[in-house]
């Protein structure tokens, strides 16, 4: 599934949070979206999933404009949004969470396949999800991305606050989704891991895109920080970034 944002501007009331954003996620590729806190990354993901309507501009999936289509309809079309924080039902058991995550169309053995990806969850099935460690709760949230079989998955800071060993496991999960042909738009604080996974990287600063290109074009953390905090002087996105 291919995603395109075309000159999207968005606001909360009178506060504009995104200005003239054009961005593409080609089918089967990974796009990393980087930026400082408050840059507009979460708002951009909400635009894609339908949780926030653009003030102007277009949201296109496989060439079809969905700017006014509600979030539940986009989910049925194949857009899965893993939001920031632990997107689980803490008072239900782990097993019940997984059963709720599994759509009716899920393939036979999908639940077992999900547990194979995160074996640490298997002995926790009868436990309340809220009693799990932070890493286990995030693994459980990610099970939804696997079970949905959604061709376009949005991830918002899914490694935040987790131990490095858990972060490694999560990024291996993302790599597996990529190998399965999913299209991924990833907002992430672990910049080296995001760049190692991505085909294309965009950087947001103060609601505007200030960089678009291949990860290898970024010379290092100093250049990335320059794009984060010196938007006016940063290189503007190249035209036609898509692969």
Q: Could you tell me the CA-to-CA distances from 124 to 75, 112, 130 in Å, in that order?
A: 28, 14, 11
In tens, the pLDDT along 83-122 reads 987 789 999 999 999 988 887 776 668 888 889 999 999 9
* Contact criterion met (CB below 8 Å) for 118 and 143: yes
**Is 200 in contact with 171 (CB distance < 8 Å)?**
no
Structure tokens belonging to residue 192: 């080296």
* Angstrom distance (rounded) from CA 90 to CA 103: 20
Chain-wide mean pLDDT for the chain? 88
Query: The sheet that has 3-12: what strands, in order across it?
Result: 15-25, 3-12, 56-61, 64-65
What percentage of the chain reaches a pLDDT higher than 90?
A: 70
| CATH numeric code, 3-78+150-233 | 3.40.50.300
pLDDT band at 234 (very low <50, low <70, confident <90, very high): very low
Q: How far is CA 90 from CA 78, 142, 214, in A?
A: 25, 14, 39
| Angstrom distance (rounded) from CA 224 to CA 77 | 34
If pLDDT is split at 50, 70 and 90, which confidence band does 80 have?
Answer: very high
């Amino acid at each position: 599934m291919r995603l395109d944002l075309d000159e999207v501007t968005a606001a909360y009331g009178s506060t504009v949070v995104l200005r003239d954003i054009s961005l593409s996620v080609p089918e089967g590729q990974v796009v990393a979206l980087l930026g400082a806190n408050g840059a507009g990354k979460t708002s951009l993901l909400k635009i894609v999933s339908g949780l926030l309507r653009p003030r102007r501009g277009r949201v296109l999936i496989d060439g079809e404009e969905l700017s006014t289509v509600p979030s539940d309809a986009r989910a049925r079309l194949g857009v899965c949004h893993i939001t920031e924080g632990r997107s689980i039902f803490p008072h239900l058991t782990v097993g019940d969470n997984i059963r709720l995550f599994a759509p009716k169309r899920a393939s036979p053995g999908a639940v077992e396949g999900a547990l194979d990806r995160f074996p640490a969850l298997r002995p926790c099935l009868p436990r309340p999800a809220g009693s799990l460690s932070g890493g286990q709760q995030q693994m459980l949230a990610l099970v939804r991305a696997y079970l949905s079989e959604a061709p376009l998955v949005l991830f918002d800071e899914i490694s935040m606050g987790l131990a490095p060993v858990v972060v490694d496991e999560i990024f291996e999960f993302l790599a597996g989704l990529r190998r399965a042909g999913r299209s991924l738009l990833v907002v992430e604080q672990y910049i080296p891991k995001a760049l190692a996974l991505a085909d294309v990287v965009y950087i947001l600063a103060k609601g505007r895109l200030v960089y678009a290109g291949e990860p290898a074009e970024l010379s290092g953390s100093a250049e990335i920080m320059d794009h984060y905090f010196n938007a006016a002087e940063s290189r503007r996105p190249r035209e036609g970034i898509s692969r």
